[in-house]
C-alpha cells in the first residue's frame, strides 16, 4: 500500500470496460478506500487510453471522492507497490480478434472469441503476456493480488497460478449474469439467489438453483424451456437450448455451452452473421466506435447505458466486489476461477476451475465438490485437457502440443482441419507469437 492508500493498476486501461470499473470503485469508496488507479496500455492504444482517462476523471470529479486517476504506458511505474492488479488486455486489439473468428470459418468450424479455435489463438498470444505481467509483479508488488478478467480467463488464470508466484484469481461475468437472470425469472433480488456452480471458465453449469434457500432447480429449468427472451449474454447468438436437453441435464448451463450442445445451429448462425453483418469482432468494432464517440463528450460523466451492448458487461462490477471482499475480509461467497487442489475429484489438482469460493483477506477458497456428475464429466475433462495442452504450447512454443490441443477440442475434432487452422493462426499472428519462431 502506498502512503496515500490503496493502489490499483489496470492493465488494458484503455478498454471500453474501464468506466464500469471506475463506477464500481466509486460505488464502494466508503468500504474500499482506493486512492490511486493507474490505467496502463500499449503505444497502439494511447488514443483510447487518453479518452477513457478523461472520462474517468470526470466521473471522479462528479463523485467528489479523493481518488486520483493516472494514465501511462510504463507498466513498471503502474505496478510499483500496487495492492491489486486487474487485467483486461487484448493482445493485437480487435484486428486480431477478427482474424481469430474468421480463420476457423474457412474450414467449416465455429469462430468464437474465447471458445474453440478462436479462443485457442487468443490464448497463444495472451499466455506469454500474462506471465510477463506476473514476473514484473514478482519484482514490483509481490504481495499484490492479480485479478484477471482478460480472456480466455480460465486458461490465463491457470497459466499464472502454475508459472508464477503471484496470487491470482480469475473472473468471468457469466456466473454473475446467470444469477441476475435467475433473479429476473423469479422476480427477486440477485442477493436472494444462490447457484451451485461446477465446471471451468465458459464451461460451467449451475448444479442447483436456490431462491431464499429453497431449491428451485426444476422450476428454473421449466422457466428456461419456456423462455423466448434474448440470450442473457450479449455476445452469444440468440439460439435457445433444446428443451429436452435442459430437462435431461436438470442443470442450468452457461450460454457458451450452446456451442457444444447446439453445434450445427451455432455454426450456421456464425456463418450467416459473418456473411451479413460481420463476425462478432466486426460488430464490436462498430459498438466500440459508438462508445468512444460518447466517451469523448465533455458533458459525459457517468458510464453510458450503451456499454451493455458489449459482451463483458458486469465484469468490472464482479472485480470490484472481489477486491472489496478481500480487502475487508468479508468471508462471503463469490464464483471465481482458482486452482482445483482436490476440490473437483475429476480434474487435475493444478487445473483452474470456476467455483463458488469463500473470499477472505487471503484470497479465494473453493467449496469442495467431490465427483462431477457423469452427464457433464466427459465434456469437462475433454475441454480441460485441451486447455492444459494449450498452456504448454503457449509457454514453450510447442507446435506438436498446439496441434494436439486443437485436434481434441470438441469444436474442431479433426487432425487435418486442426493442422490447417493452426498453420493459419501461426502465419497470421507471427508478430505476436515469437515463441513459435523456431
Report pLDDT for 32.
Answer: 95
In contact, 389 and 124? CB cutoff 8 Å: no
Domains, the chain, in order of start with CATH, read 6-170 (3.40.50.720), 374-436 (no CATH)
Alpha-carbon distance of 346 to 366, in angstroms, equals 15
Alpha-carbon distance of 86 to 13, in angstroms, equals 9
H-helix segments, 35-164: 46-63, 75-79, 93-106, 116-140, 153-163
Residue with cell 491470482: 168
Three-point CA angle 59, 64, 70, nearest 5°: 55
In contact, 40 and 72? CB cutoff 8 Å: yes
* Strand 193-200 versus strand 203-211 pairing type: antiparallel
Report pLDDT for 303.
Answer: 86
Residue 432 is a catalytic residue:
no
CB neighbour burial string for 73-110, b if at least 16 within 10 angstroms, e if fewer: bebeebbbebbbbbbbbbbbbeebbbbbbbbbbebebb
Q: Which helix (H) or strand (E) holds 423?
A: helix 415-428
Look at 136-140, 225-229, 402-406 and tell me which has the smallest mean pLDDT.
Answer: 225-229
User: What's the whole-number mean pLDDT along residues 378-404?
Assistant: 98
Alpha-carbon distance of 424 to 418, in angstroms, equals 10
Q: Where are the beta strands (DSSP E) in 239-329?
A: 252-253
Alpha-carbon distance of 8 to 39, in angstroms, equals 9
Report pLDDT for 259.
Answer: 97
For the stretch 401-410, pLDDT in tens is: 999 999 999 9
What would you report as the CA-atom Rg of the chain, rounded to the nearest whole angstrom? Answer: 21
User: What's the whole-number mean pLDDT along residues 82-100?
Assistant: 96
In contact, 257 and 237? CB cutoff 8 Å: no
pTM value? 0.95
Report pLDDT for 70.
Answer: 98
Catalytic residue selected from 17, 29, 107, 256 = 256
Three-class SS state of 81: coil
Q: Given a cut of 70, is residue 309 above it in pLDDT?
A: no
Amino acid at each position: 500500500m502506498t502512503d496515500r492508500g490503496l493502489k490499483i493498476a489496470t492493465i488494458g486501461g484503455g478498454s471500453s470496460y474501464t468506466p464500469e470499473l471506475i463506477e464500481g470503485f466509486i460505488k464502494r469508496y466508503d468500504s474500499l478506500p482506493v486512492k490511486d488507479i493507474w490505467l496502463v496500455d500499449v503505444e497502439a492504444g494511447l488514443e483510447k487510453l487518453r479518452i477513457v482517462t478523461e472520462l474517468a476523471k470526470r466521473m471522479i470529479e462528479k463523485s467528489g471522492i479523493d481518488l486520483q486517476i493516472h494514465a501511462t504506458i510504463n507498466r513498471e511505474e503502474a505496478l510499483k507497490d500496487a495492492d491489486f492488479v486487474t487485467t483486461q488486455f487484448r493482445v493485437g486489439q480487435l484486428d486480431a480478434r477478427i482474424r481469430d473468428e474468421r480463420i476457423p470459418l474457412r474450414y467449416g468450424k465455429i469462430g468464437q472469441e474465447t471458445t474453440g479455435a478462436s479462443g485457442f489463438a487468443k490464448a497463444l498470444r495472451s499466455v506469454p503476456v500474462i506471465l510477463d505481467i506476473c514476473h514484473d509483479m514478482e519484482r514490483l508488488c509481490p504481495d499484490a493480488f492479480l485479478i484477471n478478467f482478460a480472456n480466455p480467463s480460465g486458461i490465463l488464470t491457470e497459466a499464472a497460478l502454475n508459472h508464477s508466484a503471484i496470487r491470482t484469481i480469475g473472473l468471468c461475468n457469466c456466473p454473475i449474469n446467470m444469477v441476475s437472470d435467475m433473479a429476473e425469472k423469479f422476480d427477486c433480488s440477485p442477493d436472494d439467489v444462490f447457484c451451485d456452480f461446477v465446471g471451468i471458465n465458459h464451461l460451467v453449469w449451475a448444479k442447483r438453483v436456490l431462491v431464499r434457500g429453497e431449491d428451485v432447480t426444476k422450476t428454473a429449468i421449466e422457466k428456461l424451456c419456456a423462455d423466448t427472451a434474448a440470450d442473457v449474454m450479449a455476445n452469444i447468438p440468440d439460439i435457445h437450448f433444446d428443451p429436452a436437453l435442459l430437462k435431461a441435464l436438470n442443470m442450468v448451463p452457461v450460454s457458451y455451452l450452446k456451442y457444444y450442445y447446439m453445434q450445427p445451429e451455432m455454426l450456421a448462425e456464425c456463418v450467416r452473421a459473418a456473411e451479413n453483418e460481420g463476425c462478432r469482432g466486426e460488430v464490436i468494432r462498430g459498438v466500440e466506435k459508438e462508445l468512444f464517440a460518447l466517451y469523448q463528450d465533455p458533458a459525459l460523466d457517468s458510464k453510458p447505458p450503451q456499454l451493455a451492448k458489449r459482451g463483458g458487461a458486469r465484469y468490472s462490477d464482479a472485480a470490484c466486489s472481489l477486491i472489496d471482499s478481500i480487502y475487508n475480509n468479508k468471508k462471503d461467497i463469490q464464483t471465481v476461477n482458482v486452482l482445483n487442489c482436490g476440490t473437483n475429484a475429476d480434474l487435475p489438482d493444478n487445473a483452474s476451475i470456476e467455483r463458488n469460493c469463500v473470499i477472505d483477506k487471503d484470497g479465494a477458497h473453493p467449496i469442495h465438490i467431490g465427483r462431477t456428475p457423469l452427464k457433464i464429466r466427459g465434456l469437462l475433462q475433454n475441454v480441460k485437457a485441451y486447455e492444459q495442452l494449450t498452456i504448454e504450447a503457449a509457454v514453450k512454443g510447442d507446435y506438436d502440443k498446439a496441434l494436439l490441443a486443437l485436434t481434441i477440442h470438441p469444436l474442431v475434432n479433426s487432425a487435418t482441419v486442426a493442422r490447417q487452422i493452426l498453420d493459419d493462426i501461426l502465419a497470421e499472428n507471427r508478430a505476436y507469437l515469437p515463441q513459435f519462431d523456431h
